[in-house]
């Protein structure tokens, strides 16, 4: 498609949390999470800069329901910076569940950014932890390398992809979500609808991978 979206040298593909625990059989399986893998593998070859993120929690992480007495997964607690959803244990550092999904083939990825490693704070976004103050360093990495636009793929669309896209915007980058290269958790309280609404409000473009002019 000649009138598709051109990929530039100043673009980064940010592949979010494509890890065993977010795929079928994992601790926090995203419905059909593994389906993004062939799409991402194909997309990634067209990008000079590919960054992977890895959710990387210590045992007993505050975001785990199991760390709180009488709480169940998907219950919430209130923290200083807002509401925290409590998740099933997932992506515990150095466990098989935290490993990148084995079908993911992006050998040219240059950075694997781990997040969520502070026990008392979650980090959905690849830019800022959930207090919205603590930086991960990704904005500086992108700026220092002259990268201006971030295209997002991975898991989960309504959590880590959403918050990374929002923060990319807030940090001064253009953010584009590649929807078919993402899958959502879609919690009962409407997390997927909320993500779409937020993308619209922040003018975050949401596209299909077929709209990109890929290299062959």
User: What is the contact surface with ligand VGL in residues (CB under 6 A)?
Assistant: 17, 22, 55, 87, 124, 155-156, 159-160
Q: Which residues contact 87 (CB under 8 A, 6 or more apart)?
A: 28, 63, 64, 65, 73, 74
Closest to ligand VGL by CB, 156 or 181: 156
Q: How far is the CB of 159 from ligand VGL (least distance, A)?
A: 3
Closest to ligand VGL by CB, 43 or 85: 85
- Residues forming contacts to Zn ion in the complex (CB under 5 A) are 55, 116
CA angle 162, 31, 96 (to 5 degrees): 90
**DSSP-H helix ranges across the chain:** 36-44, 138-144, 162-170, 191-201
The CA–CA distances, whole Å, from 176 to 76, 86, 156, 173, 212 equal 29, 28, 15, 10, 11
Examine the residue annotation and report whether 160 is marked as an active-site residue of this protein.
Answer: yes
Q: How far is the CB of 19 from ligand VGL (least distance, A)?
A: 8
CA distance 163 to 161: 6
Partner from Zn ion, ligand VGL, none contacting 43, C-beta within 5 to 8 A by type:
none
The helix/strand count (H/E) of the chain reads as: 4, 8
> Which residue out of 23, 91, 160, 171 is catalytically annotated?
160
> Which residue out of 21, 23, 89, 115 is catalytically annotated?
115
**DSSP-H helix ranges across 33-186:** 36-44, 138-144, 162-170
Examine the residue annotation and report whether 89 is marked as an active-site residue of this protein.
Answer: no
Examine the residue annotation and report whether 171 is marked as an active-site residue of this protein.
Answer: no
Partner from ligand VGL, Zn ion, none contacting 159, C-beta within 5 to 8 A by type:
ligand VGL
Partner from Zn ion, ligand VGL, none contacting 97, C-beta within 5 to 8 A by type:
none
Closest to ligand VGL by CB, 47 or 87: 87
User: What are the residue numbers of the active site?
Assistant: 17, 115, 160
């Amino acid at each position: 498609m000649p009138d598709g979206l051109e990929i530039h040298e100043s673009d980064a593909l940010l592949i979010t949390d494509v890890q065993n625990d977010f795929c079928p059989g994992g601790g926090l399986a995203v419905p059909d999470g593994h389906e993004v893998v062939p799409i991402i593998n194909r997309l990634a070859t067209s990008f000079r800069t590919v960054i992977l993120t890895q959710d990387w929690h210590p045992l007993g992480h505050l975001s785990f329901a199991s760390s709180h007495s009488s709480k169940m997964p998907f219950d919430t607690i209130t923290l200083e910076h807002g509401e925290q959803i409590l998740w099933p244990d997932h992506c515990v550092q150095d466990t098989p569940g935290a490993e990148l999904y084995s079908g993911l083939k992006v050998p040219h990825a240059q950075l694997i950014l781990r997040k969520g490693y502070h026990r008392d704070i979650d980090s959905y976004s690849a830019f800022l932890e959930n207090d919205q103050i603590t930086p991960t360093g990704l904005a500086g990495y992108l700026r220092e390398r002259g990268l201006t636009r971030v295209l997002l793929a991975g898991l989960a669309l309504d959590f880590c992809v959403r918050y990374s896209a929002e923060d990319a915007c807030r940090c001064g980058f253009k953010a584009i979500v590649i929807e078919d290269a993402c899958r959502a958790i879609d919690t009962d309280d409407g997390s997927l609808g909320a993500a779409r609404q937020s993308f619209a409000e922040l003018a975050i473009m949401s596209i299909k991978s077929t709209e990109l002019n890929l290299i062959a």
